[in-house]
Amino acid sequence: MINTLVRGTFTAREKSFRQVTDDIARPTYSNAAKWWYVAMGIATLMLLFGLWAIYTSIAVGLGTWGLNNSVAWGWDIINFVWWIGIGHAGTAFTIFLIVFRAKWAAIFNRTAEAMTVLAVACAGLFPALHLGRIWLIFFILPYPNTRGPLWVNFNSPLFWDVLAITTYLTLSLTLWYFGMLPDLATLRDRSKSKIAKAVYGFFSMGWVGSVKNWIRYEAMIKVLGGLAAPLVISVHSIVALDFAISVIPGWHTTILPPYFFVGAIFSGFAMVMTLTIFIRKLYNLQDYITIPHLESIARVLIFGSLVIGLAYLTEMFVAWYSGWEFEMFTFLKNRATGEYRTAFWIMVFCNALVPQLFWFRKIRTSIAWMLIISIIINIGMWYERFIIVVSSLSHTFLPATWTSYSPTIVDIGIYVGTFGIFFTGILLFLKYIPSIAINETKAFSKKSSH
């Protein structure tokens, strides 16, 4: 338990265990507010737009996308990498809580883990659609088959992505679900509806809160957290190697795996800050999601921004120092001063400069500024993926193949549709599952820490 005299209290006010349960579990058995229905309506429209775009892609073909002979990777891979980055937050918060014992992360890990599962599911949609013939997706799965010696290409980055996504999604879903068992049992015991009681009872797996339950639960969470720690590093490193193993200028560099990993944590934490600020306001959880909690995320974002800024400078310096004309052209001309200079400087401004405002305590403790900066960061991280993918492919070694790239309405529709999936899932999660882990909040609350 934490020493409140040294570290401060975990909640803004002293709360009894019953008050903690009532405050956090209230949305699950109360009628949904009007804003919830409005948000669900908007998310459903986004999802329908995405379903139309997905249907068009499958029925007509990938010619409906903005891809061409030079830019064979476009918004699909940009958004795939962006969503994978968003999905790193949940596992990262679990690592902070379990491995580094950062108690402040307990407030965020439930929402962050839900966000991870949904974001990885959104990311997995893009490589599947990029196959063109999505019904043949089983060909990239390494399972015992009747095709004789015909197996997947184990040297293919596409296959690495399949393994990375499926492994990460499986572990994230497992970690999220098993972490909810005590709270699901609480909802089971509090439910007045027979259907709700049966559903929560089924998913709580017979949890009774005995000492034996808690010992096994804590041991299991530590094991899953230990497995997640190397996985969260390896997954985005594998995504980075999709680019780094090539010989295309701007991609063929060893800095990409750590660069992508830090960028993923950076964008994921920013998205968690955005979501929890809304949750804090809409569900009146100011006593639990406090300013010091959000300030802790802001401090992590400062560090992430410094690393990202250093990576940008390192790439530029290495391109110049190498003396390789193609690399210098990609970084110093095509990106910094050429066709993609607007997107490049938006990326630098949003990721390397704006987060430095968090050095000022007045901004770091302002809800409005935290919300604005967290949104700006994720805009900047999307532009980063755009710059990496498009600028290198549009201007390669042969000037005769140089071309521009722009998305079509189908590209935009699929991206908007993934937001529909994400927000629909988040809204359902907020309605039926406590957004904050009740058991962890009680463990670190003021009354239990003396």
What's the CATH number where 320 sits? 1.20.1630.10
pLDDT greater than 50 at residue 448: no
3-state helix, strand, coil in the chain (%, to 5): 75, 0, 25
- Confidence band for 447, pLDDT divided at 50, 70 and 90: very low
- Structural domain of 149: 24-443
3 falls within a domain: no
C-alpha 244: how far from its chain's center? 22
6 falls within a domain: no
144 falls within a domain: yes
Is residue 229 within 8 A of residue 99, CB to CB? The reply is yes
Query: In this predicted model, what pLDDT tens digit does every residue of 122-146 receive, in sequence order?
Result: 988 898 898 888 888 887 777 777 7
> Which range has the worst mean pLDDT, 207-211, 242-246, 442-446?
442-446
Q: Provide the pLDDT for residue 351.
A: 94
pLDDT greater than 90 at residue 301: yes
Q: Provide the pLDDT for residue 246.
A: 87
Q: Phi/psi class of residue 226: alpha, beta or left (left: φ > 0; alpha: ψ in -120 to 50)?
A: alpha
3-state SS class at 239: helix
Give burial (CB, 10 Å; 0-12/13-18/19+) of 34: exposed
Is residue 407 within 8 A of residue 72, CB to CB? The reply is no
- The pTM assigned to this predicted structure is 0.89
CA distances from 204 to 94, 170, 200, 207 (A): 20, 19, 6, 6
Higher pLDDT, 154 or 73: 73
Query: In this predicted model, what pLDDT tens digit does every residue of 369-421 receive, in sequence order?
Result: 999 999 999 999 999 999 999 998 988 888 888 888 999 999 999 999 999 99
Higher pLDDT, 276 or 232: 276
Q: Provide the pLDDT for residue 100.
A: 65
Count of residues making up the chain: 450
Long-range pairs for 422-425: beta carbons < 8 A, 24 or more residues apart: 422/115, 422/118, 422/119, 422/122, 423/39, 423/42, 423/43, 423/46, 424/40, 424/43, 424/44, 424/47, 425/114, 425/117, 425/118, 425/121
17 falls within a domain: no
80 falls within a domain: yes
Report which residue type is found at 431: K
Mean pLDDT calculated for residue range 84-98: 75
Share of the chain above pLDDT 70, in %: 93
DSSP letters spanning 147-159: STT----TT-HHH
Q: Provide the pLDDT for residue 264.
A: 87
98 falls within a domain: yes
Q: Provide the pLDDT for residue 8.
A: 42
Please give the tally of structural domains in the chain. 1
Q: What are the residues whose beta carbons fall under 8 Å from the beta carbon of 91, sequence distance 6 or more?
A: 113, 116, 168, 171, 172, 175, 228, 231, 232
C-alpha 51: how far from its chain's center? 22
Dihedral, CA of residue 289, residue 294, residue 297 and residue 299, to nearest 10: -150
Other C-beta atoms lying within 10 Å of the C-beta of residue 92: 25
277 falls within a domain: yes
Query: In this predicted model, what pLDDT tens digit does every residue of 4-52 receive, in sequence order?
Result: 443 444 565 677 788 888 888 888 888 888 999 999 999 999 999 999 9
Would you state the structure tokens that stand for residue 187, as one six-digit string?
């909802």
450 falls within a domain: no
